[in-house]
Amino acid sequence: MFETLQAQPADKILELIQMYRSDPREGKIDLGVGVYKDATGLTPVMRAIKDAEHQLWETQDTKVYTGLAGDPAFGDAMIDLVLGDAVPRGSIAAVATPGGTGAVRQAFEMIRMARPEARVFVSNPTWPNHLSILKYLGMEMVPYRYFDEATCGVDFDGLIADLKTAQKGDVVLLHGCCHNPTGANLNAAQWDEVIAVLQQTGATPMIDIAYQGFGEGLVEDAAATRKVVASVPECLVAASCSKNFGIYRERTGLLMAISADQSATALNQGALAYLNRQNFSFPPDHGARLVTMILNDEALRADWQDELEEVRLSMLGLRTQLAAELQRLSGSDRFGFLAQHRGMFSRLGTTPEMVAKLRTEHGVYMVGDSRMNIAGLNAETVPVLAKAIIDCGI
């Protein structure tokens, strides 16, 4: 039977990783893989995670399954982190998932189960897993404008015009803080306009948030998500712990379904648990338990927040340094957007041909649409990258 299988498109990121590893040149720069790296190029285990793992090793006395929704304490801790008191706890159904992608997959499954004909509005660009999962599930996608190639900022007029075509029963997939792969983010006033359009059209928002704490701070980065869920009758939020807790391989995520009608919470919770059962039964627990321990322990949480702030400031410093170096070399401020973007990523705004030229002539590896991982840089490689960009005529 397997002879009928069709070859699947190669993953561009995995291809880029292999190309980078095969490149014998010293001084090559990897800006493709979306993980945080410190100044030495290492993706470290955070101090609080290490401490929590040690405590867990000493005290954990069973590896028995958790419930279908995962440990309720994990859900409570993450809801407090992401949503705070934006909506009553009784209006939130939640399940643990294998990473943020697992939360996204379960959200799309819930949408399809509730309304098979729903259209999902997706930003252009968005993350490839959004598109591939929707395509696999056979769900209709509607792109909405997001990135302005000329300014390397948000095409907000285009975004609003496109979102106004959504209808009640449609879903609008939104990016939480620092989440769009371009690095361009909506400001507070723009979020207010998006909320007004959602209220006008009746479309249901779904927020994917994986970088809380990487932009302006933990509370500041949650502000837009909290305002959205407080302003609409229903919302889905997919949250990941991979980045801000540095537990990529532990696959730790949470999906939240919020309804202003609290009588719907039990129904939502049952649907989410059912979907977990169909896809993987019980969610992984190790990462979730570590996150729960950190968020509920004053000392662990303080140390985690301190290290997370170090990470945030490091990326902001690299952005500022890169923008300044490019301004010095080019004599213009056309790269100033790099200092304005937030999070791990920025889209340079150049052609695939120029990206290939950066790779072949200078050993600089980034995704073909010119998305680069700012955290892949350090103080020594920033000038190297800046010179390569100018030498290529970008």
Using CA of residue 239, residue 139, residue 6, residue 280, what is the dihedral sign?
Answer: positive
* Within-domain flag for 166: yes
Note the pLDDT of residue 10. Answer: 78
pLDDT confidence band for 14 (50 / 70 / 90) = confident
Q: What is the mean pLDDT of residues 17-34?
A: 92
Mark whether 192 is an active-site residue. Answer: no
Complete DSSP assignment for 209-220 = E--TTSSS-HHH
pLDDT confidence band for 169 (50 / 70 / 90) = very high
* Within-domain flag for 318: yes
CA geometry: angle 210, 127, 219, nearest 5 deg: 20
Q: Domain check: are 245 and 99 in the same one?
A: yes
Based on its alpha-carbon atoms, the radius of gyration of the chain, rounded to whole angstroms, reads 21
Note the pLDDT of residue 184. Answer: 97
Q: Domain check: are 139 and 204 in the same one?
A: yes
Query: Using one digit for the tens of pLDDT, what is the confidence trace for 253-279?
Result: 999 999 999 999 999 999 999 999 999
Note the pLDDT of residue 11. Answer: 80
Q: Domain check: are 329 and 258 in the same one?
A: no
Q: Domain containing 101 — which CATH number? A: 3.40.640.10
Token reading at 189 = 């006033």
Residue-wise over 40-66: b if at least 16 C-beta within 10 A, else e? eeeeeebebbebbbeeeeeeeeeeeeb
Q: Domain check: are 217 and 349 in the same one?
A: no
Mark whether 210 is an active-site residue. Answer: yes
Which of the residues 107, 243, 288, 303 is marked catalytic? 243
pLDDT confidence band for 384 (50 / 70 / 90) = very high
User: Please, are residues 271 and 241 in contact by the beta-carbon 8 Å criterion?
Assistant: no
Inform me whether the pLDDT recorded for 34 exceeds 90: no
* Within-domain flag for 228: yes
Q: Domain check: are 37 and 75 in the same one?
A: no
pLDDT confidence band for 284 (50 / 70 / 90) = very high
* Within-domain flag for 57: no
Residues 6 or more apart whose Cβ sits within 8 Å of residue 180: 123, 125, 126, 146, 147, 345
Q: What is the mean pLDDT of residues 35-52?
A: 94
Q: What is the mean pLDDT of residues 178-196?
A: 97
Q: Domain check: are 306 and 290 in the same one?
A: no
* Within-domain flag for 54: no
Inform me whether the pLDDT recorded for 228 exceeds 90: yes
* Within-domain flag for 208: yes
- CA 364 vs. chain centroid, Å, equals 24
Mark whether 227 is an active-site residue. Answer: no
Q: Domain check: are 376 and 285 in the same one?
A: no
Residue 132, SS3 per DSSP: helix
Q: Domain containing 18 — which CATH number? A: 3.90.1150.10
pLDDT confidence band for 9 (50 / 70 / 90) = confident
Q: Compute the mean pLDDT over every residue in the chain, rounded to the nearest whole number.
A: 96
Instruction: Provide the domain count of the chain.
Output: 2
Residue 62, SS3 per DSSP: coil
Which of the residues 93, 96, 127, 162 is marked catalytic? 127
**C-alpha to C-alpha distance for 110 and 347, rounded to whole angstroms:** 32
Note the pLDDT of residue 22. Answer: 94
**C-alpha to C-alpha distance for 272 and 28, rounded to whole angstroms:** 45
Inform me whether the pLDDT recorded for 65 exceeds 90: yes
Q: Domain check: are 110 and 149 in the same one?
A: yes
Query: Using one digit for the tens of pLDDT, what is the confidence trace for 353-362?
Result: 999 999 999 9
* Within-domain flag for 51: no
Which of the residues 69, 93, 96, 210 is marked catalytic? 210
Inform me whether the pLDDT recorded for 180 exceeds 90: yes
Q: Which of 336, 385, 383, 390 is nearest to 152 (CA)?
A: 336
Instruction: Please say which residue of 296, 327, 358 terminates a domain.
Output: 296
Q: Domain check: are 90 and 135 in the same one?
A: yes
Query: Using one digit for the tens of pLDDT, what is the confidence trace for 126-139?
Result: 999 999 999 999 99
Query: Using one digit for the tens of pLDDT, what is the confidence trace for 95-129?
Result: 999 999 999 999 999 999 999 999 999 999 999 99
pLDDT confidence band for 220 (50 / 70 / 90) = very high
Backbone angles phi, psi at 311, to 5 degrees: -65, -45
Looking at the chain, the whole-number percentage of residues with pLDDT higher than 70 is 100
Q: Domain check: are 280 and 238 in the same one?
A: yes
Note the pLDDT of residue 260. Answer: 94
Token reading at 111 = 């949408």
The range of the structural domain enclosing residue 99 comes to: 65-296
Instruction: Please say which residue of 265, 296, 327 terminates a domain.
Output: 296
Q: Domain check: are 325 and 372 in the same one?
A: yes
Q: What is the mean pLDDT of residues 64-70?
A: 96
Instruction: Please say which residue of 296, 317, 347 terminates a domain.
Output: 296
Amino acid at 39: A
Which of the residues 51, 148, 162, 208 is marked catalytic? 208
* Within-domain flag for 3: no
Q: Domain check: are 323 and 286 in the same one?
A: no
**C-alpha to C-alpha distance for 44 and 154, rounded to whole angstroms:** 32
